[in-house]
Amino acid sequence: MPGGMEARARIEELAGEAGFDLVRFAGAEALAGARAAALESRAAGRLAELHWMTDEWIERATEPRAFLAGANTVVLLAITGHAPDPERPDDRARGRVARYARGRDYHRLFESKLRRVARNVREELGGEARATVDYGPLLERPLAARAGLGWLGKSTMLLAPGFGPWVLLGAIATTLKIAPDEPLQKTCGSCTRCIVACPTGAIALHGGVLDSRLCISYHTIESREPIPRELRRQFGDWIFGCDDCLDSCPVGARNAASHPDLAPATADDAFPPLAELLALDEAAFRERFRGRAVQRATRDGFLRNVCVALGNLGTAEDVAALAGALGDGAALVRGHAAWALGEIARRHGHGGAVAGTLAARLEVEEEAWVREEVEAALAGLA
């Protein structure tokens, strides 16, 4: 079985042909430090309700040999995605989608590229090879740090020299023995910009630790629950993910290079007009976001996010759409629509009309949590 420099050079070539921007190699030993840190985060509740991230998942995700028996090397592959914002029309209330999710779903992009490289590793180089991206069972950031692809920043993002946090990661474990790259001797130094920029204080003051319970990205993408009322105003216009800690990072900030397969976003992809999104039923949601990462939020979760953004930015123009959402089939949407109506009325007046709409809902609403949201909104208008 060929290994060493020959295999390394061929894998670099295959990765380049598949369209990866960066490739580095790590040894496949267990990630003991990351395992301890992740288990501690889970025990402390900082992984929130990521149900799939059990202790067993963490044990496996920090043991490349559980992912691929006999693994000797993990190849880390990255593409860069820092497309600049399209111009934001100033016509009506618009939300904001995290940059990575504005175009084609990068998971699909990675899956086909990684599969191609892994197949070639098996067929040409004769090693076993297994690929994974994001939701697969390997912790990618600590592996990428081990491979010297970047360093772990205070935002918890992996920062790659020249690109900063604007890299997405995938990995291929292989039985081939390839000399690993060295970790970088770099740190964030005295910089604290991401900690200051985070609207909800989700990053620990000393950096390097994230509390998902406070993270906008967690709530708008992963959580299927109500967004805690005390956090909603901090969400601003984010409706899927959040880039505030990435945008604040000076590393790679001036490099707007983006992978050609991540299509440049249109204004409506990056900043969708909010009110019209409330009209999406299940089928229309699937159609509107076909092949996009936004689907992960689910229709009800996404409309919940839209309501929160409207509560933060909406005007009298948006009251009719929210009043409609107050009758939505999903309690999650109805409850957040009530909150948003209360916020708009508080900011823009129209308290009387909104109070009437909310009171009418209370007459028919049966869900206890939604009733509580409607009552809280009414109390705010009293």
Marked catalytic residue, from 134, 237, 247, 269:
134
Question: Which stretch of DSSP H or E encloses residue 168?
Answer: strand 167-174
Interface residue with ligand SF4 among 31, 149, 210, 306 (CB under 6 A) is 210
Work out whether 322 is an interface residue with ligand SF4 (CB under 6 A).
no
Q: Shortest approach of ligand SF4 to residue 264 CB, angstroms? A: 22
Task: Select the binding partner of residue 337 from ligand SF4, ligand B12, none (C-beta < 5 to 8 A, by kind).
Answer: none
Task: Select the binding partner of residue 295 from ligand B12, ligand SF4, none (C-beta < 5 to 8 A, by kind).
Answer: none
Q: Report yes or no: 330 and 312 within 8 Å, Cβ to Cβ.
A: no
Rounded CA gap, 285 and 264, in Å? 21
Q: Which is nearer to ligand B12, 57 or 369 (CB)?
A: 57
Interface residue with ligand B12 among 26, 221, 251, 275 (CB under 6 A) is 221
Task: Report long-range pairs for 157-162 (Cβ below 8 Å, ≥24 apart).
Answer: 157/194, 157/245, 157/246, 157/249, 159/186, 159/188, 159/249, 159/251, 159/252, 160/22, 160/78, 160/80, 160/252, 161/186, 161/251, 161/252, 162/252, 162/255
Rounded CA gap, 60 and 310, in Å? 41
Rounded CA gap, 121 and 124, in Å? 6
Interface residue with ligand SF4 among 202, 308, 331, 333 (CB under 6 A) is 202
Q: Shortest approach of ligand B12 to residue 379 CB, angstroms? A: 32
Rounded CA gap, 336 and 310, in Å? 10
Name which of residues 276 to 315 contact ligand SF4 (CB under 6 A).
none
Rounded CA gap, 50 and 218, in Å? 9
Name which of residues 162 to 201 contact ligand SF4 (CB under 6 A).
188, 191-194, 198, 200
Q: Which is nearer to ligand SF4, 204 or 362 (CB)?
A: 204
x-or-dash string of contact with ligand SF4, 114-153, rule CB under 6 A? ---------------------------------------x
Task: Select the binding partner of residue 251 from ligand SF4, ligand B12, none (C-beta < 5 to 8 A, by kind).
Answer: ligand SF4
Enumerate helices (H) and strands (E) in the chain, giving the number of each: 18, 8
Helices (H), 96-187: 106-120, 140-146
Q: Report yes or no: 214 and 231 within 8 Å, Cβ to Cβ.
A: yes
Q: Which of 167, 299, 161, 305 shows the shortest CA–CA distance to 242? A: 305
In terms of Cβ atoms closer than 10 Å to its own Cβ (0-12, 13-18, 19+), residue 43 is exposed
Q: Report yes or no: 334 and 370 within 8 Å, Cβ to Cβ.
A: yes
Work out whether 156 is an interface residue with ligand B12 (CB under 6 A).
yes
Active site residue 181: no
Q: Which is nearer to ligand SF4, 67 or 151 (CB)?
A: 151
Work out whether 217 is an interface residue with ligand SF4 (CB under 6 A).
yes
Rounded CA gap, 328 and 240, in Å? 20
Q: Which of 232, 18, 5 shows the shortest CA–CA distance to 115? A: 18
Interface residue with ligand B12 among 142, 148, 311, 335 (CB under 6 A) is 142
Interface residue with ligand B12 among 231, 242, 322, 330 (CB under 6 A) is 242
Work out whether 105 is an interface residue with ligand B12 (CB under 6 A).
no
Task: Give catalytic residues, as residue numbers.
Answer: 134
**Where does this chain bind ligand B12 (CB under 6 A)?**
33-34, 37-38, 41, 50, 98, 100, 133-135, 138-142, 152, 155-158, 165, 167-169, 208, 210, 212, 215, 217-218, 221-222, 241-243, 245-246
**Where does this chain bind ligand SF4 (CB under 6 A)?**
153-155, 157, 159, 188, 191-194, 198, 200, 202-203, 207, 210, 215-217, 242, 244-245, 248-251
